[in-house]
Amino acid sequence: MPVEICPFKDTFGAEVQGLDLSRDISDADFKIWSDAFETHAVLVFHDQRFTIDQHIAFSRRFGDLEDFPDPKDQVNGIPCVIRVSNIDKYTGDIKPVEDIGHKSFTLGTSAWHTDSTFRRVPSKASLLYAVEVPPVGGDTLFANMAMAYEALSEDKKAQIEKLIAVHDFEVTRRRHSLPPRPKAVQEAVPPVRQPLVRPLEDGRKALVIGSHVDHIEGMDAEESQELLDWLTDWATQPRFVYRHEWEVGDLVMWDNRCTMHRAGSYDLAHHRRLLHRTTVAGDGPLI
């Protein structure tokens, strides 16, 4: 079956058909996949069954993979594969909703964010695979930051063009009065400066915002938060958003250079949800 790229109607993103990710992928088929990724920003593969090693292997064709510093979040002790789940990795039971580590994770992922903007080199892509999904809810929403930037007025573009924001993974924990992460984990990902607007390889530009932003340099706290809130509201209008309803066996790949995402709610206390994610590192720092 030939590989076919089927763009979604009335939104951005596309479904990839005819590609079995459990098999070796030819250079020609990989080029179709890679080209589609650059064009559509979000790609969906249905009915996939592959091993963790295969997940790592096809992800690495896009570049080096990021490691996750906290062992409790790793899949089988593999640093480059993270568990996105409400299931305890050791007992297999659903975690208590008030568990500090779990609460921090769910609060963080339910807010609009882009993976790894808190790293000096922000990531290129994420590849998320559904192992278990709840019967209702737990969708993932994606917002296109390039489309959102392009639709801004020229005055607003001029206002934000040269601004720098500080990103810090600890900021979500502070906002929700949660204890800080272990010192070693904090030291592995200290606060970093990122441009509020980044250039893309195709000549477009994209907003770099989301819940990892602590503040904008040169602004007082209130002014900074006001602008960040306005930009987030602007960028997450329905015309810029794609909602993915998960099925077991789905792989979704998205472009962290030009999208933001968040997890939709579901019954955390009674329904199981387990996904595995790899993250492709970026090519270099933005500043």
Which domain does 154 fall in, by range? 4-280
pLDDT higher than threshold 90 for residue 178: no
* pLDDT, averaged across the chain: 94
Residue 1 is predicted with a pLDDT of 77
Q: What is the mean pLDDT of residues 119-136?
A: 97
Whether residue 8 is predicted with pLDDT greater than 90 in this model: the reply is yes
| pLDDT-derived band at 69, boundaries 50, 70, 90 | confident
Q: Check pLDDT > 90 for residue 42.
A: yes
pLDDT tens figures, 245-284: 999 999 999 999 999 999 999 999 999 999 999 999 999 9
pLDDT the model gives residue 284 = 95
User: Has residue 104 got a pLDDT over 80?
Assistant: no
How sure is the predictor about 120, in pLDDT bands with cuts at 50, 70 and 90?
Answer: very high
pLDDT level of residue 112 (50, 70, 90 thresholds): very high
pLDDT at position 59 over 80:
yes
Residue type, 96: P
Domain count, the chain: 1
Block residue for tokens 């500090």: 100
Q: CA-to-CA distance for 278 and 9, rounded, in angstroms?
A: 27
Whether the pLDDT of residue 185 is over 80: the answer is no
Q: Is residue 236 part of a domain?
A: yes
Average pLDDT estimate for 94-118: 84
The pLDDT of residue 13: 98
Concatenating the DSSP letter of every residue in the chain gives ---EEEEPTTSS-EEEES--TTSPPPHHHHHHHHHHHHHHSEEEE-S----HHHHHHHHHTTSPBPP-S-GGGEETTEEEEEEEESB-TTT-SBPPTT-HHHHHHHHHHTS-B-TTTTSSS--SEEEEEEEE--SS---EEEEEHHHHHHTS-HHHHHHHTT-EEEE-TTHHHHHTTPPPPPHHHHHHS--EEEESEEE-TTS-EEE--STTEEEETTS-HHHHHHHHHHHHHHHTSGGGEEEE---TT-EEEEETTTEEEEEPP--TTT---EEEEEEE--SS---
Q: What is the CATH number of the domain that holds 249?
A: 3.60.130.10
Query: What pLDDT does residue 25 have?
Result: 97
pLDDT score at 109: 83
186 lies in some domain = yes
286 falls within a domain: no
